[in-house]
Amino acid sequence: MKEKLQEIRAEALDLLKECKDKNELDALRVRYLGKKGELTALLRGMGALSPEERPKMGAMVNEVRGLIEKALEEKLHALEAEELSRRLAEEQLDVTVPGVQNRLGKKHPLSTVLDEIKDIFLGMGFQIATGPEVELDHYNFEALNMPKNHPARDTQDTFYITENILLRTQTSPMQVRVMEKQKPPIKIIAPGRVYRSDEVDATHSPLFHQVEGLVVDKGIRMSDLKGTLELFAKRLYGEEAVVRFRPHHFSFTEPSAEMDIRCFSCGGKGCRLCKGEGWIEILGAGMVHPKVLEGCGIDPEVYSGFAFGLGLERIVMRRFNIDDLRLFFENDLRFLEQF
């Protein structure tokens, strides 16, 4: 029994010396001192000893127990000290290391100019309306005086989802949606995405942005259209901006026009920016067609209105001298960070 005790003692102290972490240490504590541990087992075996030997043996077991307990305690302190110094070394903070620069987000150029446009119209008393990009044929075409088989539909390269559902090719369906819900006076702009199945190149993208405008009230005339849009152009491009209106055709306005701005690069002489024209087209517009008003339950004998639609990308490209439309949608930071 004595030998067994010496064996346990030697083995326990050896194992403790090699022990590398607290888990191992706990396992050793259980193994030697626990209720089912080796020393307890030894004590239980003492019944077989003679009454004289028993207390001696008991004292010896207790001595070894004490030794192991002390060694455990010391090892625990040693392990904790080790851990502390390791953590201190790991967590050392070098305040001289240069900081990591967080890259700041920037406004997309399309958003910058759209926000300016919104501000200009809000300042003139317009409200902002929004509506669905997945649209009914009815709103995108039919209610805009473009029945099925109307030739103007072919020019719009429409993405159809079903026969009657499509991706809106223009923001003009918002005219109808607003007039159906709201009675005059109406004075809104409706900015948003529009879709046409164009091949992607420097000037075409299947997704682009328009800003629609609509004013309906009693006594709205062509001169209101011209005054409003000229004021808009001057606010956007500066007081010296010059505009002109050219007759045009849209099925949902009558009369219709396109507005050009005199090229701000060459002053009208003709250059690369305006492709030698001296003028740059920036929007389509016109007086709301009586049929469209009527279809929305607005009496064209009492009310009249004007509408316009501008293409955002073109305006932004000229503003920042961007020659490729694809740059807007590729999200290349080297491009975006320039703004």
On whether the CB atoms of residues 272 and 266 are closer than 8 A, the answer is no
- Least separation in angstroms between residue 95's CB and ligand PHE is 59
User: Under the criterion CB under 6 A, does residue 158 sit at the interface with ligand PHE?
Assistant: no
Least separation in angstroms between CB 100 and ligand PHE: 46
Among 109, 192, 295, 309, binds ligand PHE (CB under 6 A): 309
Name which position in 195, 303, 308, 328 contacts ligand PHE (CB under 6 A): 308
Sole window of 83-91, 200-208, 233-241, 301-309 interacting with ligand PHE (rule: CB under 6 A):
301-309
Q: Is residue 253 a contact point for ligand PHE (CB under 6 A)?
A: yes
d(C-alpha 29, C-alpha 212), whole Å: 80
The only residue of 110, 136, 176, 285 in contact with ligand PHE, by rule CB under 6 A: 285
| Residue 295 touches ligand PHE, criterion: CB under 6 A | no
Interface with ligand PHE by CB under 6 A: which range of 71-79, 98-106, 218-226, 303-311? 303-311
Nearer to ligand PHE, 28 or 283 (CB): 283
Answer yes or no whether residue 284 interacts with ligand PHE by CB under 6 A: yes
Number of residues in contact with ligand PHE, rule: CB under 6 A?
11
Residue number with the smallest Cβ distance to ligand PHE: 309
Instruction: Pull the structure tokens for residue 202.
Output: 């420097």
Range 163-222, binding ligand PHE (CB under 6 A): 170, 172, 212
